[in-house]
Amino acid sequence: MIPPSDESIDQLASLLQDASHVAMLTGAGVSAESGLSTFRDKEEGLWAKYDPLELAHIDAFRRDPELVTKWYHWRFTRARSCKPNAGHFAIGRLQKWFRSRGGRLDLITQNVDGLHQRGGADNVIELHGTILTWRCLRTGERYSLDQIDFSTFPPRSESGGLLRPDVVWFGEMLPADALDAAQQAVAACDAFVSVGTSATVWPAAGFADMAQAGGAAIAELNRETTPLSDKADVSVLGLSASVLRDVCRLLGIEDKEPR
């Protein structure tokens, strides 16, 4: 890959410097440098023959709950063994930097891996839920991973109900509170920044247009062009971890991430 131009990184830093309320939307690309595959990457090993876009569907769970829960078990085991990368830490630092200047950065993610929180971000709006809690289909009760017996699949709660990950699947509604919080952030922002997402899955795919209609500046950081690239005021073609670290450096934000 050609390294991103210094000019585009400078432009992203200036856009953030001039903003007081940022809405940032992230996707699987932000976690790629932690070792987690995106939805469009070819998987290796045991799960290579399955299409993640088909497994992340309510119909797949209805048809074969054993297969789907085994896949999610594998996904959270991997997510827990991965570490947040420089991009997650940079976003956490940016959030604090905005707050220290009386502004804010609202973080909206489509990721379910919990790496933003481990990288220091807070109030993360998880549009697609999380794989770190599961819920009982019989009682609705939520369970953390260490409360669940994963020795048989699909796992069940003590009431005998099927347990499923607390994520949003294709064919399901987004959690109303997360969607509401995301829409409020997008409507109120003066800069919208999309990072590591293919910008194709609704409703997140519409956030940039909504922000632009409200007068916000639009920036994108992705390793390749997306449907958003042409509309964005700033488009950085690069890897999120290194670019976000450079942006923090340009803004004079101290680099304190654990080595």
128 a catalytic residue: yes
Least spacing, CB of residue 132 vs ligand OAD, in Å: 15
Phi and psi at residue 237, in whole multiples of 5°?
-95, 105
Q: Looking at beta carbons only, is 39 or 74 nearer to ligand OAD?
A: 39
Q: Looking at beta carbons only, is 69 or 197 nearer to ligand OAD?
A: 197
Least spacing, CB of residue 159 vs ligand OAD, in Å: 27
Q: Looking at beta carbons only, is 130 or 157 nearer to ligand OAD?
A: 130
110-to-27, 61, 196, 253 alpha-carbon distances in Å: 5, 20, 10, 26
Catalytic residue among 73, 88, 116, 128: 128
Least spacing, CB of residue 173 vs ligand OAD, in Å: 11
Least spacing, CB of residue 68 vs ligand OAD, in Å: 12
Asked if residue 60 lies in contact with residue 67, where contact means CB atoms within 8 angstroms, the answer is: yes
Residue type, 37: S
Phi and psi at residue 146, in whole multiples of 5°?
-75, -5
Q: Taking the CB of residue 63, how many other CB atoms lie within 10 A of it? A: 10
Q: Looking at beta carbons only, is 143 or 169 nearer to ligand OAD?
A: 169
Residue 253, token pair as written in the block: 């934000």
Strand order in 129-136's β-sheet? 142-144, 129-136, 163-167
212-to-88, 112, 188, 222 alpha-carbon distances in Å: 25, 26, 11, 19
Q: Looking at beta carbons only, is 27 or 155 nearer to ligand OAD?
A: 27
Residues lying near ligand OAD in the complex (CB under 6 A): 27-29, 32-33, 38-40, 53, 56, 110, 128, 168-170, 196-198, 201, 222-224, 226, 239-240
Asked if residue 111 lies in contact with residue 39, where contact means CB atoms within 8 angstroms, the answer is: no
Strand order in 21-26's β-sheet? 125-126, 104-109, 21-26, 191-195, 217-222, 234-237
Least spacing, CB of residue 190 vs ligand OAD, in Å: 23
Catalytic residues: 128
